Chains A and B, each alone.
Chain A
Amino acid sequence: MSNSAKVKPYLELRAETQARERGLKEKVMSLEEAATLINDGDHVAIGGCTMSRTPMAMIWSLIRAGKKDLIASRSIMSSEGDLLFASGISKHVITSWFSQGIVWGVSKVMRHHVEGGHAKFDEWSHMSMGLRYRAGAMGVPFLPSRSMMGSDVGDRRREETRQMSCPFTGEPLTLLPALNPDVAIIHVQRADAYGNAQIDGLQFMDPDIAMAANKVILTTERIIDNAQIRRVPDRTRIPFFTVDAVVEVPFGCAPHECYGAYEPFFDHMGQYAKQVSLDPVAGAADYLRHYYEEPATWEAYLERVGITEILDASRRGRSVYDD
Chain B
Amino acid sequence: MTEASNYTASELLAVMSARLLLDGQIVFAGVGIPLLAATLAQRVHAPSLTILFEGGVIGPFIVPGELPPSTNEQRCTRKANMVLPITDVMLLLQRGYIDIGFMGGAQIDRYGNLNSSFIGDPEQPKIRLPGTGGGNDISSLTNMIVAMKHEKRRFVPKVDFITSPGFLDGGTSRSDAGLVSGGMFRVVTDLAIMGFDEQSKEMKVVSLHEGVSNEQVQDNTGFDLAFDDTVQTTQPPEPEELAVVRELDPESLYTA
User: Using a CB–CB distance below 8 Å, which chain A residues touch chain B?
Assistant: 49-52, 75-76, 95-99, 101-103, 106-107, 110-111, 114-115, 121, 123-128, 130-131, 133-134, 145-154, 156-157, 163, 171-174, 201-208, 257, 259-260, 263-264, 266, 317, 320, 323
Contact = CB atoms under 8 A, between A and B. Distances in A.
Contacts of B132: 96-97, 123-126, 153
Contacts of B13: none
Contact of A96 (B55, B70, B133, B253): B133
A52 B128 contact: no
A115 B125 contact: yes
Interface string B112-140: 01000100001001111111111111001
Contacts of B137: 125-128, 147-148
Nearest to B140: A147
A52 B68 CA distance: 12
Highest count of chain B CB atoms <10 Å: which of A50, A75, A98, A127? A127
Contacts of B4: none
B216 to A, nearest CB: 28
B136 to A, nearest CB: 4
9 contacts: A50-B55, A110-B128, A147-B136, A147-B140, A147-B141, A150-B168, A150-B178, A156-B162, A202-B55
B85 A146 contact: no
Nearest to B125: A115
Contacts of B117: 123, 152-153
B201 interface: no
A97 B32 CA distance: 16
B156 interface: no
A262 to B, nearest CB: 9
B55 A204 contact: yes
B134 A150 contact: no
A263 B134 contact: no
A114 B165 CA distance: 24
Interface of B: 31-32, 54-57, 69-70, 72-79, 83-87, 90-91, 93-94, 113, 117, 122, 125-137, 140-141, 161-165, 168, 173-174, 177-181, 253-254
A171 B163 CA distance: 23
A266 B68 CA distance: 12
A257 to B, nearest CB: 6
Contacts of A323: 78-79
B72 A127 contact: no
B13 to A, nearest CB: 15
A146 B77 contact: no
Given A126-B137, A128-B137, A153-B117, A102 B70 contact: yes
A203 B84 contact: yes
B57 A202 contact: yes
A127 B32 contact: no
B165 A51 contact: no
A119 to B, nearest CB: 10
Contacts of B140: 125, 146-151, 154
Given A151-B165, A202-B74, A126 B90 contact: yes
B46 to A, nearest CB: 22
A146 B70 contact: no
Given A102-B69, A111-B128, A152 B180 contact: no
Given A151-B140, A201-B77, A257-B73, 10 more contacts: A52-B72, A125-B137, A126-B133, A127-B87, A150-B174, A154-B136, A163-B178, A202-B57, A259-B77, A263-B75
